[in-house]
């Protein structure tokens, strides 16, 4: 690859690093509890959660991989980003209300409460290997890409980027992650779309771009079952079904992101915008370099390499079409794609380690400040382990490949256990454990004996069936889950209250502490604050407010800065206390005001959450 990097590009990269670290440190400066460190005190608006979620979703490999697919398969490279809607009912109607209302802090904790400690331990091991391996994988792929562009040593690059991610995450936890990822999400999508625009201009217009693509490259779906590297049926099972459920329901980082929303309603709004609007835009951003390159091939005037290695397309094309400075912005986006994934993963490892190991098994019953300190220490440990994996991935390609195989065989049984556990009351702890262990073992076996997958391969002509292995694992795990459940004893209904679909109303009731009511939800009113001597996290509202919001004593309320762009940074969840008769005034204690970072002089927005 012959890449020209100008001084202006280095300046842009430096500005990006300084900006992101400053943003993460500034917004995370008020983090004082584990609830804030892991869940940002559940205060954020849908748009902050949505954009930061897209940044976490786009990994360092995304631009390279989807540009390659875009070049080889065409616009169908967007399939993976536009096929999530099938599992959205599972997330919106089942998973999100369960984890939010039951206050589940980690995926292994859900398994402990829904099934038993044995299943929790199995899941804990899987999740930790998955998360730490994923940190190493992202660091490695980003390091290789940046080394190819800037000529910087792989390890220097990895260590610098990992330390920068850790720096702001360590300081502010989830709040820093969300705010930094919000910025990085805009950079990522902005850079991807910039390449598309500059590419189209270079080509001579949209019509030239479109007309230069072969018909097969213009379709939204790839071939049904061929070529074996990328086809619709394989993508459907490995990505749309198992991949999407795994991403939204099994990924601890995603659980924490949606737990940071101010309400379940706000979380639903976030995921809807992510899947309907942001993911299709992100799909264009990550794969358009491949489409543009393909469209440039027949143009004789453009001096582009005709026999390029597909994995180099993203960097080569960006360097070709972008002027100096703008190319630096693209490199920054590549690094942003890594940092926005890695910061969330580090925070996720820390949450799992504190909640499921330290607090649950090693040192229970300590004050929250102690666990916050431990959480920060685990963040360092997770980063160091991720960095240590990089030389292993670099030297032993079979370890790198082995990790990819691990995720492909462990995902289907996990997905089946999560989905059935959340939907089916009759699903037993014993069945969950055996689904994980036997489902994983049989999926592993299919790596050595791919012929096992053939009956479910939908006529795919390959010999590895790497895509169709997901369907095999899914069917095998589902069969084990159902059969073992029918012969073993399920948990008592009261033990799984709030953890299964049919019991979500019970979780809502427990969350609120009384019978929830829907009246007044969604109505917002502006008010002025007044300090008075009251209990922490209790407010007093006026009669007129109570009437408008249909609020009564004991209702869960949300007070936020009236400036919508603050996105919930200055806000607090409180309970409605006694009703007073001073119109337009919300009374609260000084401590409550400080806890929500609210300004006494500034107007606030008041709404009823439940």
Per-residue HEC secondary structure of 384-439 comes to HHHHHHHHHHHHCHHHHHHHHHHHHHHHHHHHHHHHHHHHCCCCCHHHHHHHHHHH
The answer to whether residue 468 forms part of the interface with other proteins (CB under 8 A) is no
**Shortest separation between residue 609's beta carbon and other proteins, angstroms:** 13
Residues 6+ apart with CB under 8 A from 114: 421, 422, 432, 491, 496, 499, 500
Q: Which is nearer to other proteins, 160 or 219 (CB)?
A: 219
- The residue among 153 and 207 lying less far from other proteins, judged by its C-beta, is 207
| Complex with other proteins: residue 492 or 518, whichever CB lies closer | 518
Is residue 531 classed as helix, strand or coil in its secondary structure? Answer: strand
Alpha-carbon distance values, 258 to 122, 126, 268 (Å): 24, 22, 9
Piece of the chain touching other proteins by CB under 8 A; list 31-39, 85-93, 124-132, 282-290: 85-93
86 binds other proteins (CB under 8 A): yes
DSSP string, 228-259: TTS-HHHHIIIIIIHHHHIIIII-HHHHHHHH
Query: With the CA atoms of 227, 229, 230 and 232 taken in that order, what torsion angle do they form, in degrees rounded to the nearest 10?
Result: 70
Q: Which is nearer to other proteins, 495 or 594 (CB)?
A: 495
Q: Shortest gap between Cβ of 76 and other proteins (angstroms)?
A: 9
Gap between the Cα atoms of 6 and 24, Å rounded: 28
User: Phi and psi of 578, rounded to 5°?
Assistant: -65, 145
Considering the complex, state which of residue 166 and residue 282 has its C-beta at the smaller distance from other proteins. Answer: 282
3-state secondary structure at position 529: strand
Q: How far apart are CB 98 and other proteins at their closest, in Å? A: 10
Tell me how far apart the alpha carbons of residues 280 and 148 are, in angstroms, rounded to a whole number. Answer: 29
Among 37, 39, 66, 236, binds other proteins (CB under 8 A): 236
- Burial level of 517, CB count in 10 A (0-12/13-18/19+)? middle
Helix (H, G, I), strand (E, B) or coil at 558: strand
Site string for other proteins, 192-231 (x = CB under 8 A): -----------------------x--xxxxxxx-------
Q: Is 226 helix (H, G, I), strand (E, B) or coil?
A: coil
Q: Which is nearer to other proteins, 239 or 356 (CB)?
A: 239
Contact with other proteins (CB under 8 A) among 54, 65, 233, 453: 233
Count residues near other proteins (CB under 8 A). Answer: 37
Question: How far apart are alpha carbons 78 and 193 in whole angstroms?
Answer: 14
Quick note: the x/- pattern for other proteins over 404-433, rule CB under 8 A, is -------------------x----------
- Please state the closest distance from residue 135 (CB atom) to other proteins, in A: 31
Give the x/- contact pattern for other proteins in 143-162, rule: CB under 8 A: --------------------
Q: Which residue from 21, 49, 73, 87 is in contact with other proteins, where contact means CB under 8 A?
A: 87
The piece of 9-17, 82-90, 115-123, 370-378 that touches other proteins (CB under 8 A) is 82-90
Chain positions 565 to 604 lying near other proteins, rule: CB under 8 A, are none
Contacts with other proteins, residue ranges (CB under 8 A)? 82-83, 85-90, 92-94, 97, 215, 218-224, 232-233, 236, 240-241, 265, 268, 272, 275-276, 423, 501-502, 504-505, 518, 521
């Amino acid at each position: 690859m012959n890449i020209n990097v100008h001084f202006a590009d280095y300046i842009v990269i430096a500005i990006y690093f300084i900006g992101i670290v400053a943003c993460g440190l500034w917004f995370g400066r008020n983090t004082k509890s584990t609830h804030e460190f892991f869940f940002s005190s559940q205060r954020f608006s849908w748009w902050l959660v949505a954009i930061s979620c897209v940044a976490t979703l786009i990994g360092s490999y995304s631009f390279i991989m989807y540009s390659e697919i875009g070049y080889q398969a065409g616009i169908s490279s967007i399939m993976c980003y536009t096929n999530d809607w099938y599992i959205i009912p599972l997330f919106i109607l089942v998973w999100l209300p369960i984890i939010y209302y039951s206050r589940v802090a980690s995926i292994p904790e859900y398994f402990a409460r829904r099934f038993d400690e044995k299943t929790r331990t199995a899941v804990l091991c899987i999740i930790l290997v998955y998360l730490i391996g994923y940190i190493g994988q992202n660091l490695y792929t980003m390091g290789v890409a940046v080394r190819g562009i800037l000529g910087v040593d792989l390890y220097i690059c990895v260590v610098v980027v990992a330390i920068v991610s850790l720096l702001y995450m360590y300081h502010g936890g989830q709040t820093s992650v969300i705010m930094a990822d919000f910025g990085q999400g805009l950079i990522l999508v902005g850079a991807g779309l910039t390449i598309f625009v500059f590419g189209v201009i270079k080509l001579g217009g949209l019509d030239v771009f479109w007309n230069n693509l072969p018909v097969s490259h213009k379709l939204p779906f790839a071939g049904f079952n061929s070529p074996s590297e990328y086809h619709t049926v394989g993508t459907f099972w490995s990505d749309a079904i198992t991949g999407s459920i795994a991403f939204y329901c099994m990924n601890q980082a995603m659980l924490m992101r949606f737990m940071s929303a101010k309400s379940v309603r706000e979380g639903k709004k976030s995921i809807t915008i992510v899947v309907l609007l942001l993911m299709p835009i992100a799909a264009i951003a990550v794969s358009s370099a491949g489409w543009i390159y393909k469209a440039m091939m027949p143009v004789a005037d453009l001096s582009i390499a005709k026999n390029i290695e597909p994995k180099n397309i993203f960097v080569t094309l960006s360097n070709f079409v972008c002027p100096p400075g703008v190319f630096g912005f693209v490199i920054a986006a590549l690094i942003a794609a890594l940092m926005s994934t890695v910061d969330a993963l580090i925070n996720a490892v820390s949450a799992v380690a504190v909640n499921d190991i330290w607090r649950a098994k090693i040192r229970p019953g300590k004050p929250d400040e102690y666990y916050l300190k431990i959480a920060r220490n685990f963040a360092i440990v997770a980063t160091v382990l991720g960095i240590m994996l990089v030389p292993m991935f670099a030297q032993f390609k079979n370890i790198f490949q082995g990790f990819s195989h691990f995720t492909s065989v462990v995902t289907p049984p996990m997905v089946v256990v999560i989905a059935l556990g959340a939907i089916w009351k009759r699903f037993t702890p014993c069945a969950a454990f055996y689904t994980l262990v036997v489902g994983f073992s049989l999926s592993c076996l299919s790596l050595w004996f791919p012929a096992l997958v053939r009956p479910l391969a939908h006529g795919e002509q390959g010999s590895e069936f790497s895509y169709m292995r997901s369907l095999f694992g899914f069917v095998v795990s589902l069969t084990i889950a159902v059969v073992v459940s029918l012969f073993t004893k399920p948990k008592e209904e009261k033990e799984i209250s709030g953890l299964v679909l049919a019991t979500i109303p019970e979780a809502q009731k427990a969350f609120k502490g009384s019978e929830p009511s829907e009246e007044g939800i969604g109505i917002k009113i502006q008010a002025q604050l007044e300090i008075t001597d009251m209990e922490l996290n209790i407010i007093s509202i006026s009669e007129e407010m109570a009437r408008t919001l249909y609020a009564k004593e004991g209702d869960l309320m949300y007070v936020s800065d009236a400036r919508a762009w603050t996105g919930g940074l200055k806000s607090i969840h409180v309970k409605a206390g006694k009703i007073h008769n001073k119109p337009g005034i919300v009374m609260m204690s000084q401590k409550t005001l400080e806890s929500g970072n609210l300004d006494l002089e500034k107007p606030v927005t008041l709404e009823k959450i439940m």
